[in-house]
Amino acid sequence: MSGLKELQEKFQRGILAGDDAVLTEINDSAKEERKTLFGVYRHAYVARLAEVLADDYDVLHAYVGDGTFAKLVKAYIAAHPSDRRSARDFGRHLPAFLSATAPFASHPELAEIASLEKALADAFDAADAEPLTVTKLAEIAPEDWPRLVFTPHPTALRLTFATNAADIWTALHNETAPPKAKALPEPQAILVWRQDVTARFRPIGPEEAMMWNEAVEGTRFGVLCEMVATFAGEDDAELRAATYLKDWTDTGMLAGCRVETTPDRGR
């Protein structure tokens, strides 16, 4: 007879590794053999986690179909026993798992679709913050604009895709036929954030991506304008920078701004 600790370890090994040692501790019931009864727990573990992954990665599921998704889920569950209290965290390693594990790694769009789904789920219940408003920006004195720095909304994050995973996601989300997976000529930047209670994403061009990366690092608006001018030409550079800023503000991607008062260090 095992003590409680040893019994729980055997029980857990019985579920995770198929080890039958725990069966010596269990009684047959009047109607059923112990192996079948313990099998309820074995089955429930895999079925519950498979359901969690199917809920969290429903677009990936739709893309690969039931058969491949079942294989992918089985491999992931075996590789990553759950180590968090909340089941919503269980699938957090799936994008990295798909990037690193054959045969999924040879289809790079799979990891990218998964990373987009994870990013949207993360944005959905990330911390709240009042978004920066155009009204607040309008109160900034013209002479202070060059020293203005921005705070991204806490839900905002950036991804970079090498494939057309974002287009595949959009088609499947709209329940239409997805385009054939393909590598993009240039990496595609994607911004993910939550507007009010809805998690959103949008692909952005290289210039906007550069400006976003600098802005979230605390680079002043005056310097951002110079960088935009360097990136794609001085003509209308300030207008381009202001347009990006207005888009970010209109869609709730920024949480605040302040006028930097320390000596100009660029950032």
Partner 1 sequence: MQNDKPPFLGFGLGLRPQHYSEILNGDPNVDWFEVISENYMVEGGQPMRMLDQICERYPVVMHGVSLSIASTSPLDMEYLGRLKKLAARVNPKWISDHLCWTGVHGVNLHDLLPVPYTKEALAHVVDRVKQVQDVLGRRLVLENVSTYVTFGQSEMTEWEFVSEVANRADCWLLFDVNNVYVSSFNHGFSADDFLNGVPRDRVVQFHVAGHSHEESHIVDTHDHPVCPEVWDVYHAAVAHFGPVSTMIERDDNIPPLADLVEELDHARSIAREVLGSPRLEAAE
C-beta closer to partner 1: residue 194 or 240: 194
Contact between 7 and partner 1 per CB under 8 A: yes
Interaction between residue 74 and partner 1 (CB under 8 A)? no
Q: How far apart are CA 107 and CA 78, in angstroms?
A: 21
Instruction: Determine, following the binding rule CB under 8 A, whether residue 86 of this chain makes contact with partner 1.
Output: yes
> By CB under 8 A, what part of segment 105-164 binds partner 1?
123-128, 154-155
Q: Residue 76 in contact with residue 52, Cβ under 8 Å?
A: no
Task: Centre a 10 Å sphere on the Cβ of residue 262 and count the other Cβ atoms it contains.
Answer: 7
- Which 18-47 positions form the footprint of partner 1 (CB under 8 A)? 25-27, 29-32, 34, 36-38, 40-41, 44-45
Q: How far is the CB of 116 from partner 1 (least distance, A)?
A: 17
Q: How far is the CB of 246 from partner 1 (least distance, A)?
A: 25
**Count of C-beta atoms within a 10 Å radius of residue 139:** 8
CB of 182 to partner 1, least distance (A): 33
Q: Does the protein bind partner 1 through residue 194 (CB under 8 A)? A: yes
Residue 128 burial (C-beta neighbours within 10 Å; 0-12, 13-18, 19+): exposed
- Residues 214-233 as x/- pattern, contact with partner 1 by CB under 8 A: --------------------
Amino acid letter, residue 192: V
**Site for partner 1 (CB under 8 A): how many residues?**
49
The least CB distance from residue 157 to partner 1, in Å, is 14
Region of 3-11, 68-76, 178-186, 252-260 interacting with partner 1 (CB under 8 A): 3-11
Q: How many angstroms from the chain centroid is the CA of residue 216? A: 18
Binding of residue 197 to partner 1 (CB under 8 A): yes
CA–CA distance from 126 to each of 114, 123, 193, 195, 254 (Å)?
18, 5, 9, 11, 14
Handedness of CA 59, 65, 70, 76 (dihedral sign): negative
Work out which of 54, 70, 82, 92 binds partner 1, going by CB under 8 A: 82
DSSP string covering 190-245: EEEEEETTEEEEEEE-HHHHHHHHHHHTT--HHHHHHHHHHHH-STTHHHHHHHHH
Q: Per rule CB under 8 A, is residue 49 in the interface with partner 1?
A: yes
Choose between 26 and 229: whose C-beta lies nearer to partner 1: 26
Angle (CA) 168-49-24 rounded to 5° is 155
Residues 6+ apart with CB under 8 A from 14: 20, 21, 22, 23, 38, 41, 42
The CB-of-30 to partner 1 minimum distance in angstroms stands at: 5
Interface positions with partner 1 (CB under 8 A):
1-5, 7-9, 11-12, 15-16, 25-27, 29-32, 34, 36-38, 40-41, 44-45, 48-49, 52, 81-88, 90, 123-128, 154-155, 194, 197
